[in-house]
Structure 1
Amino acid sequence: MFTFYVGRSGSGKSTALVEKAVEMLDASPKSGKPLIFIVPEQMTFQIEDQLARKVGGMTRAHVLSFSRLAYRVLQEVGGFTRDRLHKPGMHMLLKKVIEKTKPELRVFQKAASTNGFIEEMERLLTEMRRQALTADVIKPTEDANRTAFIDKQHDLHLIFQEFENQFDGVYLNQEEMLKLALVYLPQSELFKGATVFIDGFHDVSQQEQNVLFELLNQVDEMTMALTLPKEPATMEANELDRFYLPTKTFIQFAERLKQQHVPFESVEFLPGKRYRASGVALIEQNQDYSKKSSKESSDGSIEIVEAVNRRVEIEAVARSIREKVRVNDLRYKDFALLLRDISPYEDLIKQIFKRYDIAFFLDDTRTMMHHPVVELIRSSLESIIQNYRYEPVFRAFKTDLFNPLDVHTQVYRERIDELETTF
């Protein structure tokens, strides 16, 4: 049985999934079939935390992303004999492939040497593999007239085909893990008779859909939550619609369920459970600004503040947070600061929130190049290669990893500074 939970943001779909799992865990905490949550990578901890707080433990509940699901299947059945290939490794392999195919390229022969070409090609090939497409899909026909488009198609097919020849059967990455998991899932005993909950996705790739429908053959029940105002009236998705991606996902799943004669139903959730303030609820319900909406008086839940610069803006936010924590008995985890682009505000948030003693987590990817261990390795090797030149030697010293454990870090930093001034 397959069930769709459809409703607007904040209507209670995710809460209903968690409460259903909690009810099943309370009824039988240790024995029983597995309960599987399949969510995006960044959402796994949130669901685990909710289950742990409500139940006190998760003996038979598992929260998995697609990559972790594939890992669990391959760990049980086999398939980890290949070398794991991450993004830098993909770039190196692609560079080798492009150098080999360069003489036969018609359009990309010169572009292949420019900065960013390898990265763009890696994105394209990764997306094609996510959608379960092969090189033959983009192969130009024999009798096709030579045009710029056909020449590009020829080059892409050539690169993709050579990449597949060198990658398949030798290396393993996230897309390949899903592909292998699809093959080994029928042999796995992990999901037999399980109840599966899918949440947090607007769009599901073809490869991920294939895994879910193979999984559907083994489980007793599968429920998927989608952010939609209501069940689509037709089996066509409008690309200009704000809910285009979840609508397309619903239609794709519904069509495949019908083809496989799997019964399914939709449960619609009414809006308004999350947004208690009428002002916030009004914005959520009227996101399509091309349509005229009725004017309503403000209830004070939305405040627009104009600041002369970013520093004053973040200062105002910090003061507001401190005031609400003090007056309204809130906690710092009850606040979220949403930004279109975090980079211009990152340093200001670190400085100002620290000054106001506000604990915060900054959701930003940090490069490993500046990690002390990585810097120690780089500078040490550079020192050896360059016959212990001044700059790499002191870069290695300033990582603080040469300092004795029984001496305070600040003491050794001062000694290194004194040594540096003598050069």
Structure 2
Amino acid sequence: MAIQFIFGRSGTGKTHRCMEALVSALKADETGSLIFLVPEQATYQAERAVLAQAGVEGYNRLSILSFDRLNFQLIGRNTARARLSALGRQMVLHRLLHEVADQLTVYQASSSHTGFVGQALHLLDQLHGAATGPEDLARCIDQLESQGHESLCAAKFRDIQILLTAYARFVEGRFVDPDQQFQAARQAAKTHELLKGATLWVDGFAGFTQAELLMLGTLMQTVSHTSIALCLDPETLGRFDGEPGLPGPMDPMDLFAPTLTTYQQLVTLMDELKLTPEAPVILSQAHRFATASVLAHVEKSLFNADMTPVSVEGQVRCVSAADMRSEVQFVARSIQRLTRDQGLRYRDIAVVASDLSGYEHLVHAYFTDHNLPFFMDKQQPLTHHPGATLVGSALRLALGPFEPSEVMAYVRSNLLGVDRQDLDALENYCLALGVSSKDWHSTEPWALDDPAEPRFDQCEVNRTRNLITSPLWALRDVLTSETVTGEAFVKALQAFLEHLKVAKTLEALIQRADQAGDPGMADRHRQFWDWLTGVLDECSLVLGEYQAPAAFFAKVLTSAFSQMTLALIPPTLDQVLVGAIERSRHPDIKVVFLVGTTQKQFPCALPSDSMLSDADRDMAKLAGLDLPGGLAESLSQR
């Protein structure tokens, strides 16, 4: 149960030291498991980094895991219960809010608003991460009321307690909830073969949730050796006389405040578990900036009020652009020059923004114009996929009037299994002759064209009309019942998709994209279909026996569509990485362009949390409930 900390500022070689140690252990003739615990978004790069080491052609003793994947390794293989995804948890909340809305006070009116379920799920995630249950909330409410705090704050937490209690009852014994599986995983970790005699490295974390801390404590008690790397300035710590010392009074706005807080939490946890760490490893030399002394000075002095000016020596350049378009143009031309004249590879360059949304379309346009291969490290929404348009418009048409604009959106999805020319002829007929909602509802063949001077083949138009509306009428027959079950809703939608042969059409589009050398588009179609079938299966699982108006299930599915994103994998290795500073993890790069680095844009504006204000969180903390999140935590991360 040996434990050792690795301390150092950015670029001092913490990850490199972990990598060297685990590769050395990998090559040794030993039998114990090796575990490299990193954040979810860092697992791919860590796997690549290990395989890039000399003499490593593969491995079977090493597991590169995130906390979520570790939980699956410990308990996921041994349970027959279904696992709830984030969208599945949203479906559960939709159902529970529909059931308990009349019990709520503060959130009763807003519970039906768009976006409320997402905020509620985020809060539940925070509660689960803080290992907070309904009983903890009940004690907090009692404290708030006994201390005479505002009744509104207590009422908010009472609503949250109602929702959390209902959620816990719903998933208990039925589903594996990723947010509630830590306790079971901790129990399994004590005797699991993976951890017996294992060596553990923990790297890349600035902080841990309470549930993750408890899991880490169990791991430290179980494995033979633990190394924990933390990015902080060793000078801010106390003594190093055989055991790490706690820092003195800490400024919450200090550059390393988050990791200092994490270190304090880990030391407190080890004291509770009666674990004594070894002397820490102190890394002070910034190897990352060995060829860029100015950057080393900036890293060390940027937030120091009495910094010493130095000459930039061409290593740092500040550029003022007239607008964002000019800024991206400059970046594209600079990258072109660096790769052409200075021998840099595209993979040596990164573009980083505080908020990528404003730059995304400009990067696509100008990097394509300059023939620059790039990877946009951003979750791409699939809400504009033609399949999402098809399902959304079909549900609106089945539950409401046949509005001409909605029908045209349905037609333009190009997934109806009807020849494009026939659909164009139908659309032209509708536009030229002003086909109305009443006409679409009519059971009689259309005869709106002038028989004396016909402009359209009305027989073909009516044939196409019947082809595209017959699946809608079948769907409408099921959904217009006063109430339906979730299973009936899903089956009706699946029958609608099967009638239109949507799967076959998407398969043809995938083959066409592959043949055209566009793997991104092929993957987009493939992921959409996998996502849609998965969501419908989960909807049937979570809401199968639940009975409600069809509009409720349509709202749940529409909400799921808004969360639909494309999981991207870099198609090649040699390309420019473009990402947001809070999301992307950059490998070893030689040139970085920080775009939008102005006072109002860098860092970006803080997100708001409308369910609990900072005052609510402060009062809860006084009542013994310390919740993560809030303005103070967001500020410390910036």
Q: Which residue of structure 1 aligns with residue 326 of structure 2?
A: 312
Partner SS, residue 4 of structure 1: strand
Q: Does 1:344 align with 2:348?
A: no
Residue 284 (str. 1) matches residue 299 (str. 2): yes
Cα distance in 1 for partners of 2:122, 2:46 equals: 29
Instruction: Say whether 1:211 aligns with 2:228.
Output: no
**What are the residue-to-residue correspondences of 1:288-303 with 2, within 5 Å?**
288-289=303-304, 291-303=305-317
Structure 1 residue 137, shift from structure 2 partner? 1.6
Q: Looking at CA atoms only, which structure, 1 or 2, has the larger radius of gyration?
A: 2
Aligned to 2:263: 250
Runs of 5+ in structure 2 lacking a partner?
Answer: 239-245, 431-638
CA contact (8 A) 1:35 1:62 kept: yes
- Contact 1:192 1:219 survives alignment (8 Å): yes
Aligned to 1:391: 408
Decide whether the 8 Å contact of 2:35 with 2:199 is kept in 1. yes
Q: Secondary structure at the match of 2:228?
A: strand
**Amino acid in structure 2 at the alignment position of 1:247:** L
Change (3 A) 1:121 1:379: closer
Report the AA paired with residue 279 of structure 1.
Answer: V
Cα displacement (A) at 1:372: 4.8
Q: Which residue of 2 aligns with 1:274?
A: 288
Matched-pair contact (CA < 8 Å) for 2:301–2:307: yes
Report the counterpart of residue 409 of structure 1 in structure 2: none
Counterpart residue number, 1:42: 41
Which whole-Å CA distance do the structure 2 matches of 1:119 and 1:381 have between them?
22
From 237, 247, 252, the equivalent of 1:232 is: 237
- The corresponding residue for 1:358 is 372
Q: Deviations over 1:355-383 (max 9, x none)?
A: 11111110111123234555565567778
User: Does the C-alpha gap of structure 1 residues 329 and 413 become closer, same or farther in structure 2, counting only changes over 3 Å?
Assistant: farther
Contact persistence 1:130–1:205 (CA under 8 A): yes
Q: SS of 1:5's equivalent?
A: strand
Matched ranges for 1:154-165 at <5 A: 154-165=158-169
1:310 maps to amino acid: M
User: Which moved further from structure 2: 388-397 or 332-341?
Assistant: 388-397
Report the equivalent of 1:107: 106
State the Cα deviation string for residues 237-288 of structure 1 (Å, max 9, x = none): 4422221111111111112222323231311111421113122112111132
CA distances 1:144-192 after superposition (whole Å, capped 9, x unpaired)? 3572222222222222222222223222232123232122222321121
Q: Which residue of the partner structure matches residue 329 of structure 1?
A: 343
> Partner of 1:193 in structure 2?
197
Contact 2:96 2:167 in 1 (8 A): yes
Alpha-carbon distance between aligned partners in 2 of 1:376 and 1:112, rounded to the nearest angstrom: 28
How many percent of aligned residue pairs carry the same amino acid?
28
Find the aligned partners of 2:423 and 2:112 in 1 and give their Cα distance: 43
Distance in 2 (CA, whole Å) between partners of 1:156 and 1:334 is: 48
2:4 touches 2:280 (CA, 8 Å); kept in 1? Answer: yes
Equivalenced residue count is: 408
Q: 1:114-133 maps to which residues of 2 (within 5 A)?
A: 114-133=113-132
Matched position secondary structure for 2:118: helix
CA spacing shift, 1:272–1:391, aligned 2, 3 Å: same
Gaps of 5+ in 1: 404-411
Assess, with a 3 A threshold, how the Cα gap between structure 1 residues 94 and 328 changes in structure 2: closer, same or farther: same
Measured in 1, the distance between the counterparts of 2:269 and 2:161 equals 29
The residue type equivalent to 1:348 in the other structure is L
For residue 56 of structure 1, report the CA deviation from its aligned partner. 1.9
Task: Check whether the contact 1:382–1:392 (CA below 8 A) recurs between aligned residues.
Answer: no
Q: Which moved more, 1:176-185 or 1:94-103?
A: 94-103
Q: Is the 8 A contact 1:44 1:63 kept in 2?
A: yes
Contact map agreement 1:7 1:269 (CA 8 A) in 2: yes
CA distance in 1, matches of 2:36, 2:282: 20
Q: Evaluate the alpha carbon distance shift between residue 417 and residue 110 of structure 1 in structure 2; reply closer, same or farther with a 3 A threshold.
A: closer
Closer/same/farther in 2, CA of residues 157 and 379 from structure 1, 3 Å limit: closer
| Correspondence for 1:407 | none
Bigger shift: residues 369-378 or 249-258: 369-378
1:286 maps to amino acid = S
CA RMSD of aligned residues (A): 2.7
Deviation of 1:312 (Å): 1.4
Which amino acid counterpart does residue 261 of structure 1 have in structure 2? Answer: K
CA distance in 1 between partners of 2:422 and 2:361 (Å): 29
Letter in 1 for 2:10: S
For residues 129 and 36 of structure 1, the distance between their equivalents in structure 2, rounded to whole angstroms, comes to 25
- Corresponding residue for residue 599 of structure 2: none
TM-score by length of structure 2 reads 0.59
The structure 2 residue matched to 1:153, chosen from 144, 150, 157, is 157
DSSP-derived class of the 1:313 partner: helix
Report the Cα distance in structure 1 between the residues aligned to 2:417 and 2:8, rounded to whole angstroms.
57
* Equivalent in the alignment of 1:56: 57
2:276 corresponds in structure 1 to 263
| Aligned partner of residue 338 in structure 1, secondary structure | strand
Counterpart Cα distance in 1 of 2:328 and 2:267:
46
Kindly state the Cα deviation for residue 323 of structure 1 after the two structures are TM-superposed.
1.0
